[in-house]
Amino acid sequence: MTATVTAAIDEYLDSVESGNSAAVARSALREWANWLAAKRDVTALDDVAVIDCRRYARHLKRRTRDDDLKASTANTYYAYVRAFLGFCEADELIERNPAAVSRAQSQLPEDPGDADRQFWSEHDRNAILRFMDRRVERALDGETDVSRERAYRDRALVRLLALSGVRGAEVFRDPADDRRDGVTWEDVDVDGGAIRVFGKSREYEYAQLPQRAAEALERYRTVAEPPTPEFPVFPTDHAPSKYSAAREQLGEQGYDDHRVEQILDANPIDEVVQEYEVVVPAISTRGARGLMERLCDQAGLDIDGEYLKPHGARRGLGHQLYSEGHAELAQSALRHASISTTHESYSNIRASETAERVDDVLDE
């Protein structure tokens, strides 16, 4: 009987020593198995081909471009798959390891390290936050063509990124990952200062929600009046997606196709969403990056020819906390599993501090 991918993974994991590495491997391999089934329609182990591994490598590369993964992490995830399939080859479950073939591995992202990866400096963070406040004031005074709701939404989005340490893929929709559909209002706990996100660990976690971010979210919620707690905090602006969601959910509510079209023809889509409690999709990670690019352009912010990217906010927050001597706070804010991860992420700061101390000693 042909072994399934998931059964073989379980057997492989039983052979791996327990610990944090095994836990990460388990998460990565199960995510890969789900991707194989959903995107490649492959569930049997001996059906896994070189082209599937090549496509998976390309999928990982795409996630690095979307700032969902570091290049180093993408290569690590692929290495787990390669090691697993190597185990299967050694156990004679498959004839060869398709992940070890060069044309599959050639699609992996290059790992240049973190030296050139963007982070929001304190100056740039404050500049974009001030701009968002002014934008809300101008919308309230009718001095811009941006609606009041949009201005409040965008300010809440920027404050959440800038101050909470969340990853973009944790709060926005990732079209390549069915489980990442964006945070909803029921995930937001303003009083508790926390927001529930689907973390990098592929488990739900609570990220810290500082007062300024919580305040922006609460004011935005008051203006937006989401029709249901399941509504995304940052809904898409894509009209076809709204109409598609409305047609599907109105049908589920018992309206026939003719009546659905009557409703949609007679009312603006946003009114239909509100009145019939339609849950539209969240803005995508790509859409959020496009929004940040437009906002930086409007604010006159240019960061070495780039805009403030969503994941750079997380790095910037950690950088400031760590550089000011709050390593444990940085670990907590960024939800690193161990302080060693935090130290590794900001090793450049430690090296700089060490250099200064060495200089002091040598100059004595």
pLDDT at 362: 63
Do the beta carbons of residue 339 and residue 328 sit within 8 Å? yes
> Do 76 and 218 fall within a single domain?
no
> Do 304 and 181 fall within a single domain?
yes
* Residue 360 burial (10 A CB sphere; 0-12, 13-18, 19+): exposed
Average pLDDT, the chain: 89
Alpha-carbon dihedral 47, 48, 49, 55, rounded to 10 degrees: 130
pLDDT at 354: 59
pLDDT at 284: 92
> Do 193 and 327 fall within a single domain?
yes
| Segment (H or E) for 207 | strand 204-208
Domain contains 111: no
Q: Where a domain ends, among 280, 295, 312? A: 280
Q: Where a domain ends, among 71, 105, 139? A: 105
Number of domains making up the chain: 3
pLDDT at 357: 60
The pair of structure tokens assigned to 263 is 């409703």
Largest Cα span, the chain? 86
**Residues of the chain with pLDDT > 90: what percent?**
65
pLDDT at 212: 96
pLDDT tens profile 8-56: 999 898 887 554 456 778 888 999 999 999 999 999 999 999 999 999 9
Tell which wins on pLDDT, 49 or 176.
49
> Do 153 and 28 fall within a single domain?
no
pLDDT at 22: 66
Q: How confident is the model at residue 305 (pLDDT cuts 50, 70, 90)?
A: confident
How many angstroms separate the CA atoms of 291 and 265, rounded? 29
CATH number for the domain that contains residue 318? 1.10.443.10
How many angstroms separate the CA atoms of 339 and 328, rounded? 7
Do the beta carbons of residue 154 and residue 306 sit within 8 Å? no
> Do 93 and 149 fall within a single domain?
no
Domain contains 252: yes
> Do 149 and 289 fall within a single domain?
yes
Q: Where a domain ends, among 223, 249, 280? A: 280
> Do 212 and 311 fall within a single domain?
yes
* Sheet order of strands, 188-189 included: 188-189, 194-198, 204-208
CA-nearest of 64, 99, 106, 101 to 83 is 99
How many angstroms separate the CA atoms of 234 and 281, rounded? 9
Domain contains 110: no
Q: Which residues on adjacent β-strands are paired with residue 271?
A: none
> Do 64 and 207 fall within a single domain?
no
> Do 264 and 229 fall within a single domain?
no
Give the helix ranges, DSSP H, for the chain: 5-15, 20-39, 50-65, 71-90, 102-105, 122-140, 148-164, 168-171, 211-224, 239-252, 257-266, 269-275, 285-299, 310-323, 327-334, 339-345, 347-362
Lowest-pLDDT range of 129-138, 205-214, 305-314, 339-348: 339-348
pLDDT at 208: 95
Lowest-pLDDT range of 137-141, 172-176, 241-245: 172-176
Given a cut of 90, whether residue 291 has pLDDT beyond it is yes
The one-character DSSP state at 99 is: G
**Residues of the chain with pLDDT > 70: what percent?**
92
> Do 151 and 166 fall within a single domain?
yes
> Do 127 and 247 fall within a single domain?
no
Do the beta carbons of residue 310 and residue 234 sit within 8 Å? no
User: For residue 266, how many other CB atoms are within 10 A of its CB?
Assistant: 9
φ, ψ of residue 128 to 5 degrees: the values are -70, -35
Give the position of tokens 């492989």. 12
Given a cut of 90, whether residue 346 has pLDDT beyond it is no
- Half-sphere exposure of residue 55, counting CA atoms within 13 Å on the CB side? 15
- Half-sphere exposure of residue 199, counting CA atoms within 13 Å on the CB side? 16
Q: How confident is the model at residue 115 (pLDDT cuts 50, 70, 90)?
A: very low
pLDDT tens profile 75-111: 989 999 999 999 999 999 999 999 999 999 999 988 7
> Do 99 and 135 fall within a single domain?
no
CATH number for the domain that contains residue 29? 1.10.150
The one-character DSSP state at 204 is: E
Domain contains 101: yes
Domain contains 345: yes
Domain contains 89: yes
Give the structural domain span for 15: 5-105
* Residue 92 burial (10 A CB sphere; 0-12, 13-18, 19+): exposed
Given a cut of 50, whether residue 148 has pLDDT beyond it is yes
How many angstroms separate the CA atoms of 90 and 114, rounded? 35
- pTM here is 0.71
